[in-house]
A and B are shown apart, each in its own frame.
Chain A
Amino acid sequence: MSRDKRLTFKKRLHIIKHKMRGKKMAPAFNAFHTFLFSPDETTHNGSHVRGADDLKRTMNTVIMSLIPILVFSMFNTGYQHFAAIDAAAGVSRELSLFGNFFTGENFWLGLKLILPIVIVSYGVGLLIEFIFAVIKGHEVEEGYLVTGMLVPLIVPVDTPLWMLAVAVVFGVVIGKEVFGGTGMNILNPALTIRAFLFFAYPTWMSGDKVWVHQGMERTGTPDAISGETILGYLAQNNSIDEVYSVSDMFFGFIPGSIGETSAFLCLLGGLFLVFSKIASWRIMVSAVIGALAMGLIFNGVADAGIITESSNFYGLMSFDFWKHLIVGGLAFGIVFMATDPVTGSQTNKGKWIYGFLIGFISVMIRVFNPAYPEGVFLAILLMNVFAPTIDHYVIRGNVRRRMKRMKHARIYTPAAAKEELKAETV
């Protein structure tokens, strides 16, 4: 019957799915099926909440907001590569948007380099998810769809693919599956992968060689090229005013991890996520406030003359506080990492504290660790760990406040009030 040519592809999938029910490989098949079509199952008992946004749609919305960044990063990867070659050869190069940035040559190079990273990230990550789903006999969760897209955007372009694969295995297994899979993880899996790469293979993750294509490969040859990140320049107490303009930094025509450079596109993506109600604007706003606050404190310290130009920290401390938002991975981290609904704070008040501390600590690590100026991922991972604690105290505080209010209420008899209080606290 299923061989009938007149059956649609969709219908045939439904039939196979029916046959597969209860078999060991069923979760793996179901995952493919629901990826292509909406499931044919209806709720068996009364449904009380109706929402069009299931997990899959939520994830797809985030991916949609990441696509412009991915495309831009392909142009930027190519541009940075050719710009670095020119710089090494002593040729001066003016950025012109359609003259030498949005060119086919740039895009082609970027595509060639970034597409394999995306494929490895998705391939390895989804394989692990499928294996665990089959072993544990649950459905494959969609959680990795976003992680798989985030990972390529937060690594340097020349990261060897096998390293990425090892890191993805580590991040998905240790960061997520051991805690029980999607929705149960404490740490953001994408950042776990980034942190693993950083600590396992530091030579590929920091320095001035890794941010442009072939930077590592050409080291020690006459054609050596390098592309120092802005934070790297600052950490060495160099001024960046002559190197990059503010608009370069804002629009992202600078070296860095693949997708982190453009604060402008992060801003657009962030607005899209806020208006589609996927990400929390509270976290984003408070993280920006936190970063600005820490930046202002450092500016104050530098202006007051407590830190002089001879200090190692002077370059980063005297860096205009608002510019911290448009360099490095801060914008990307705030919009796409900090707002992860699983690992972030759940309560509204908690979100303010959580976001603020992310911005605050990010800039602090940046400035105080000149050997490693990018602290955003560490700050977010740290706050991931503290998010449940923050939520706990927010909820305790709320309960205490309401209990106090109850004490002053005179509507109930004391006995009834006592009962009520008990119910509140439980």
Chain B
Amino acid sequence: MEKVKQKDLILYSGLIILGLAAPYLFSAFKVQLTYLCVLIVLAMTWNLQGGEMGYNSFGNILFYGLGMYLTASVQVGMFFPLAEWTESGGEKTFVHTTAQYFQGIGVGLLVSAIIPALVAGAIGYAILGLRGHYFAICTLGLGIAAGEIAGGIEIIGAGQGFTTPPFPAEIVDVEARGKFFYFLSFFVLVLAFVFVKYIYGSRFRLILNAIRDNEDKAEAMGIQTMKYKIVGWMVSAFFCGLAGGIMGGLIGYIDSTDVAFDGREMGVFMVLMAILGGKGTLWGPIIGATLFHFFKEGLWTFILGWQYVALGVLIVVIVIYFPEGLMGWLREKYPERFGEVIDEKDRKSQVELK
């Protein structure tokens, strides 16, 4: 046991050092690296309820978009009238000072994590009572409805979009903006990882798995399934909101359906990444997100215009031929690496039965 822990320690410290050094090593790719961190957070937290709990949600984009709008609104609204800001659109009549900018984004991110979690808690009792595909379709509807409704609300820019406050001009270092957002997203990633890792070692995960495998039985065993389902969804919402807030600041412009409640991109990406890596594993979504991001960034520019066709085909191929994901495939191939012992006699007898 000692040895394994030491191995883990080396792995984690290596990853953290790599993460901290990454913006200096690959300084041209800071934006892509930030994206990667956000994608990993989204995939990991989607997996928590899609993979562990068995509630395949298409609607986590709701919390992502909510977080994005909340961060930007708080950041502006703390110092200036929000309506005038959105009305002036791209032309800036108000300028944040450096201190105001960082105060704003700090408070904004806090709000954007807490409010989506509360929203998830509030609607959880109604929505999580749905099972299987009804849940999937309902959350899909929620995400799209949120986008359509946000596109009609005047104070957050309606259809013309919402420009988030620009990075303070007083900071002379041109690299500062990229670094700031990278380290912010990396911090959230580490936070999410530590939290998810903690959950993986706890009783909570076993309960989530029990809900996935047979919810009625779990309920009959005396587990208050609804309570745990809501908590699981709130955790997802918390991190989705944070991720959304960071992305809003990074992109600098929020559109209701193309950036914030972007069910066609982000909403599908998080599901796809988790499935690609392997649902219901700790490392699966991380590997899946990394692979997917490399694939996307590498290929997108070569197949310009055809990227959605490629994405659609990719979804179909992964879902049909690769539903267990990379980790599931590895597990099948090297079960002993995952701590599974196969009884040869038992296996043989099963083969004979067939």
Q: Do A and B bind each other?
A: no
Q: Which residues of B contact A (CB under 8 A)?
A: none
